[in-house]
Amino acid sequence: MKRVLLLDDDADLRALLRTSLAALGLEVVEARRAGDAERLLRQGPVDVAIVDGLLPDGPGLEFVERLRDRDRAVRVVFFSAYYRDIDTFQHLTEKLDVSLVAYKPVEPESFAAKIAALAGAREEAAGSGPARDPDLAAAIAELCRQFTEQLPAKIAAIQEEVAAARTDPRCLPRARDLAHALRGSAGAYGFASISESMGVVEYLLADASTQRELRRPYFWQEIQAALREARTASTRAAEQLQAPAEPGEVPR
């Protein structure tokens, strides 16, 4: 069985990708930190490493560089919402021999099929796609249900960190990281508007590196507006979740 390392600090996104990858016959080992991933690699090799660009203990790019210092054979997928400039892309693909650069959010079934093809697990993976498997569809529907139920709490947690950051700029990185995580997972779970709102929050917080920026007119209002849009979308999603499904419809 082909083995895939999934290195990402977002548990919701890992659950969705793990389910899609396992449906294609891949063994998935998970880590949320680079240090944890390096310990897993010492326990045994992997065929493909999926590496998030922003990790709790350092940039994913640095993890890939360390990985390439000791292993040139493993196929690497760099998976991030950042690093969209041409210089970084060339560094990843030419110097570090990254097989695929993917940008969040992704559609999980088609992304899993690309990983399976890279691993050589199934020649037909890219053409068939795991979404046709009814067991996988049911598993993903359940993950989506759980994620939808958790959305209000996730947005509220970001709201709390943003409120704290208004008086203590040291809270900015935590607020930004939470927005970054929800941006990626919401997009993968099909909540495009929430993903877009979290992208606004993330970019605003990432740019707020100085006290002058924090005092910019309408800075906090822009963040609050994006959070309101996300809350409205999450409320609408919760209402749809409670609505009776049509006959033969899979709840989402």
Segment 102-112 mean pLDDT = 92
CA gap 152, 86 in Å, rounded: 37
* Average pLDDT over all residues of the chain: 88
SS3 96: coil
CA gap 250, 228 in Å, rounded: 29
128 and 142 share one domain: no
Range of the structural domain that residue 193 is part of = 135-242
- Which residues, other chains included, contact 147 with Cβ-Cβ below 8 Å and sequence gap of 6+? 12, 185, 189
Looking up residue 181, the CATH number of its domain turns out to be 1.20.120
127 and 151 share one domain: no
Of 28, 195, 206, 27, residue with least CA distance to 106: 195
Q: Take residue 70 and report the two structure tokens written for it.
A: 């000791």
Looking up residue 52, the CATH number of its domain turns out to be 3.40.50.2300
- Helices 172-188 and 134-167, interaxial angle, to 10°? 160
231 and 170 share one domain: yes
pLDDT digits (tens, 9 = 90+) for 181-215: 999 999 999 999 999 999 999 988 887 755 555 66
Find the Cα–Cα–Cα–Cα dihedral 155, 160, 161, 166, rounded to 10°: 130
DSSP secondary structure string for all residues of 32-95: SSHHHHHHHHHH---SEEEEESEETTEEHHHHHHHHHHH-SSSEEEEEESS--SHHHHHIIIII
pLDDT digits (tens, 9 = 90+) for 4-21: 999 999 999 999 999 999
Segment 21-39 mean pLDDT = 96
Identify whether 81 is part of a domain: yes
Strand 58-59 relative to strand 54-55: parallel, antiparallel, unpaired? antiparallel
Identify whether 251 is part of a domain: no
**pLDDT score recorded for residue 247:** 46
Place of tokens 């959010």: 105
Question: How would residue 127 be classed by pLDDT, with cut points 50, 70 and 90?
Answer: very low
178 and 93 share one domain: no
Question: How would residue 130 be classed by pLDDT, with cut points 50, 70 and 90?
Answer: very low
- Tell me which of 61 and 218 has the higher pLDDT: 61
Identify any residues that bridge with 55 across adjacent strands, giving them in sequence order: 58
95 and 164 share one domain: no
The region of weakest confidence among 40-49, 56-65, 179-188, 217-226 is 217-226
Q: Say if residue 123's pLDDT is above 90.
A: no
Question: How would residue 238 be classed by pLDDT, with cut points 50, 70 and 90?
Answer: confident
Express as a percent the part of the chain with pLDDT over 90.
Answer: 69
Q: Say if residue 26's pLDDT is above 70.
A: yes
- Which residues, other chains included, contact 252 with Cβ-Cβ below 8 Å and sequence gap of 6+? 141, 144, 145, 148, 190, 240, 241
Segment 75-96 mean pLDDT = 90
Identify any residues that bridge with 102 across adjacent strands, giving them in sequence order: 79
121 and 139 share one domain: no
Q: Which of 109, 132, 155 is the last residue of a domain?
A: 132
CA distances from 115 to 4, 42, 56, 63, 102 (A): 8, 22, 24, 19, 11
**pLDDT score recorded for residue 167:** 85
CA gap 82, 52 in Å, rounded: 10
- Tell me which of 144 and 211 has the higher pLDDT: 144
- Which residues, other chains included, contact 50 with Cβ-Cβ below 8 Å and sequence gap of 6+? 4, 5, 6, 7, 8, 17, 77, 79, 115
Express as a percent the part of the chain with pLDDT over 70.
Answer: 88
Q: Tell me if 161 sits within 8 A of 174, measured CB to CB.
A: yes
